[in-house]
Amino acid sequence: MNSKMQDAYALSRQGVDNLLVFARLLGYIRYFHPSDRAAEANWEQLAITGIRSVETAKEPVILIQKLKAIFTPIAPTVRIFATKESSTVSQTLQQPANKASLQLVAWEHYGVKGDGEEDYSIYHSKRVYWNGEQNQITDEVISSYQPFKADLGSGVSCLIPLALFAKNGKTLPHIPKTKAANSIDYSINERATRLAAVILAWNVWQHFYPYFDVVAVDWLEELQTALKYAATDKDTAAFNKTLQRLVAKLEDGHGNVYLLNQNTSDRFTLPFTWDWVEDSLVITYVLPDSEMDLHPGDVVLKIDGVPAAEVISDREQLISSATPQWKRDRALGRMLEGGEATSVELEVRSIGGGIKTVVARRHILYAPESGFSLPLFWQWRDEQLIITSVITEAAGTIKPDEIVLSIDGQLGQKAIAQQIESLSQQFPDWFPSQPKQDRIRDALKELNNGTKGSTVLFQVRSPYGESRTVELSRTLRVWDRKEPRPPKIQQLRSGIIYINFERINDLDFQQALPLLESATGIIIDLRGYPKVSTNPIGHLIDEPVTSARWHIPQVKYPDRQKLDFDFSNWSIEPKKPKLKAKVVFLTNGSAISYAETYLGIIEHYQLAEIIGQPTAGTNGNVNELILPGGYLIWWTGMKVLKHDGSRHHGVGILPTVPVERTVKGIADKRDEFLQRAIEIVSV
């Protein structure tokens, strides 16, 4: 869906300046001023209504009046004043005479708790209290929470108390709750909603993103740019790009933005893969039944009349990445995707040198697992399983906006819960810690996929309350866009075993142990994201080993000032049997996060050769926030350093045996990484 915007028009220069002041002040109060009313505020609503108020202020004195009207009801001790009066404003925490009978309260953030975070998340935000019995209010505590003064620009400054005194758990002065404002339109069709989404996203990164020390960006300038785009974006697609460009400036491989209620019907893929090899966009694999005149080794010169390199460059502007290899990998993948039955025209140079034109159509759905799917898309929304769109072949059989009541006689909610339990048992090391919406999403994928032609019986209810029974077959082909590789566990030749960590689970590994124990060479494929736990590492070591260094930001002050970190890591114990074979790992730029945790241990303890290309250079748990308009943003919430304390972000795991693909190797259908691995373990 690509909705038209109703009120897109440009910001004036004064409007931009006013919103910059408003944005910074909002972030300071939201995250660092500990009043009860600020802690309870509806910040989405406040941002939207505040934007509408301050944008048109013609001069600083009027802007200050408007800012006070917005923020004083929730933060009466915050001072907003003309910058020229700054020297007369005291930056000392005022202490009441009866402070011995009071508490002191301030914010402490461990990462930051987003609106979408659940209680089990490692990131959280809380107000902490000091009193006369425990956590005494010492002079040291008071001196560490002196008010924060900031020049907001445009002749406006502020003084933000970072700590407040409280009585009986209520901050002083007591502020009665105000009557709830009238409901407002959170649709991204509304200009103020788009501007609010930008401001709220910018602020959470301004105060909590842990990598601005290694990312060279003028973050305030990026806020200006994003606000200007958001004000004039004419449709949903344009605003999506505005948010994507802002996220991309973080240079964070986890950085992403999702429209929560958008279906995935634009994830149909072209029936081939490609890669950037020897300065060319090269076809690397074509599905056998695609009936196109394309072959591995063909070079794509133009895409819909535009030079391939130019198309890639444009797409990369929207990709957040710490390294060029992850940016290129993501861009090439997204270039393959689009709506059902859409097509592209390719100008191609064949291996023999001839130039040809090929029209490729998207009729296969992209998904992490290949197979067959039901011809529909659905979401769990408002405690209901809702059909969001339907593939052409099922049109009329089942309809968008219908509610799924039962699946093969089982209530929809119970079916989802059972799938979540099953996935938690299969992948106990990572799946249960996923955000709730991600666990539900993966469960729905499991319910959707199955064997070709298998049927499912649904009871559905229309938006008008009519119930009926519908039977659907799994006829939609789903492809993971993986080039052919050996089976997940295979003996390639006598004594040499190949094992694909992207496709096996812990049970598979345990069952393969007798084979691995007798091997002379083991090739572990980590070109992607592993599904197996770190237990296999235990079979490669004699002494305990540890993971890389996790550092979660402990944030008490605005703008990442005096930033501290909470350090942790975890260890792996040796396991029997100890594998005596020569071991190598294969990897490339698609290996990110958990894959890099794995390879970081291999790298530091020199447990095996690492063959291939540098990894994505992004690791650590994701933090998230829901924005007005129904957007979810992701970013890396912790700083991860290598075992020796050196930088990982933007560096990644470097191969000990670098390998680059060649056009000839692709044309000959050779896995050059695997060939090099076989050579090494055969010595």
Q: What is the DSSP string of 143-157?
A: HHTPPEEEEEETTEE
The angle at the Cα of 629, spanning 626 to 632, to the nearest 5 degrees, equals 30
My answer on whether omega of the bond before 628 falls inside 30° of 0, hence cis, is no
- In angstroms, rounded to a whole number, what is the distance separating the alpha carbons of residues 189 and 197? 12
Inter-CA distances, 479 with 147, 269, 309, 342, Å: 56, 8, 26, 17
Structure tokens at 221: 């300038």
Residue 118: the pLDDT is: 55
Residue 414: the pLDDT is: 94
502 near 662, Cβ under 8 Å? Answer: no
Residue 457: pLDDT band (50, 70, 90) is very high
pLDDT digits (tens, 9 = 90+) for 70-111: 999 999 999 999 999 988 888 788 888 787 789 999 999 999
How many other β-carbons are positioned within 10 Å of the β-carbon of residue 106? 19
Residue 381: the pLDDT is: 85
- In angstroms, rounded to a whole number, what is the distance separating the alpha carbons of residues 139 and 305? 70
State the SS3 of 242-309: HHHHHHHCCCCCCCEEEECCCCCCCCEECCEEEEEECCEEEEEEECCCCCCCCCCCCEEEEECCEEHH
Please give the model's pTM, rounded to 2 decimal places: 0.92
Structure tokens at 431: 């799946």
244 near 238, Cβ under 8 Å? Answer: no
In this predicted structure, the answer to whether residue 310 has a pLDDT above a threshold of 80 is yes
Instruction: Classify residue 146 as exposed, middle or buried by CB count within 10 Å of its CB (0-12, 13-18, 19+).
Output: middle
pLDDT digits (tens, 9 = 90+) for 49-61: 999 999 999 999 9
Residue 264: pLDDT band (50, 70, 90) is low
- For residue 324, the Cα-to-chain-centroid distance in whole angstroms is 18
Which phi and psi angles does 380 have, rounded to 5°? -90, 115
112 near 637, Cβ under 8 Å? Answer: yes
Residue 132: the pLDDT is: 58
pLDDT digits (tens, 9 = 90+) for 627-658: 999 899 999 999 999 999 999 999 999 999 99
In this predicted structure, the answer to whether residue 25 has a pLDDT above a threshold of 90 is yes
- Residue 393 is classified by DSSP as G
- In angstroms, rounded to a whole number, what is the distance separating the alpha carbons of residues 287 and 535? 35
pLDDT digits (tens, 9 = 90+) for 473-493: 999 999 999 999 999 999 999
Residue 151: the pLDDT is: 97
**536-575 CB burial, b ≥16 within 10 A, e <16:** bbbbbbeeebebbbbbbbebbbbbeeebebeeeeeebeee
Lowest mean pLDDT among 129-138, 142-151, 406-415: 129-138
One CATH from 2.30.42.10, 1.10.510.10, 3.40.50.10470, 1.10.3720.10 for 268-366: 2.30.42.10
One CATH from 3.90.550.10, 3.30.70.260, 3.90.226.10, 3.40.50.300 for 489-682: 3.90.226.10
Strands of 449-450's sheet, edge to edge?
337-338, 268-269, 364-366, 476-479, 371-373, 449-450
Domain boundaries defined on the chain: 1-251, 268-366, 372-475, 489-682
Residue 2: the pLDDT is: 59
H or E stretch at 226: helix 219-232
Structure tokens at 583: 């071991």
284 near 329, Cβ under 8 Å? Answer: no
Inter-CA distances, 162 with 554, 555, 598, 602, Å: 15, 12, 41, 44
Structure tokens at 294: 């394309």
Residue 183: the pLDDT is: 65
Beta bridge partners of 170: 167
The angle at the Cα of 260, spanning 259 to 261, to the nearest 5 degrees, equals 100
CA torsion angle for 113, 116, 119, 122 (degrees, to 10)? -50
Residue 115: pLDDT band (50, 70, 90) is low
Q: Which residue has the higher pLDDT, 290 or 680?
A: 680
Q: Which fold has domain 372-475?
A: Pdz3 Domain (2.30.42)
- Number of alpha carbons in the 13 Å side-chain half-sphere of residue 404: 33
Which phi and psi angles does 167 have, rounded to 5°? -125, 125
User: Does the fold of domain 489-682 match that of domain 268-366?
Assistant: no
Chain mean pLDDT for the chain: 93
